[in-house]
Amino acid sequence: MHDAMVAGGTVMTVAMILGVVVLVLWLLLPFAVFGTKPRLERIEFELQRTNRLLERLVARLEGGEPRAPGEAGEPKTPDV
C-alpha cells in the first residue's frame, strides 16, 4: 500500500511539473511569433536576389546577354 502511494505521488509530481512547463510555453509562444515576420521578409528578399543572380549567371553561360542589375525590377531592401 505504501509503495502505491509513493508511486502515485511521484506520477502526480511529474504530471504537475510537465503541466507547468506546458503552461509557460503556451503563454510565451505568441510573443515569439511576433519577431518572425521581419526575418521572413529578409529571407524572401535574399531569395529573390539569389534568383536574379542565378538568372544572370545562366544567361551568361548560355551566351545570352546578362541583364543589368537594375533591369530585373529588383525590390527594395525591406525595412526591418
Residue 66 pLDDT > 70: no
SS (H, E, C) the chain: CHHHHHHHHHHHHHHHHHHHHHHHHHHHHHHHHCCHHHHHHHHHHHHHHHHHHHHHHHHHHCCCCCCCCCCCCCCCCCCC
Q: What is the pLDDT of residues 19-42, one digit of tens each?
A: 999 999 999 888 877 778 889 999
The residue that leads in pLDDT, 76 or 2, is 2
The residue that leads in pLDDT, 32 or 74, is 32
Q: What is the pTM of this model?
A: 0.45
Predicted local distance difference test score (pLDDT) of residue 36:
86
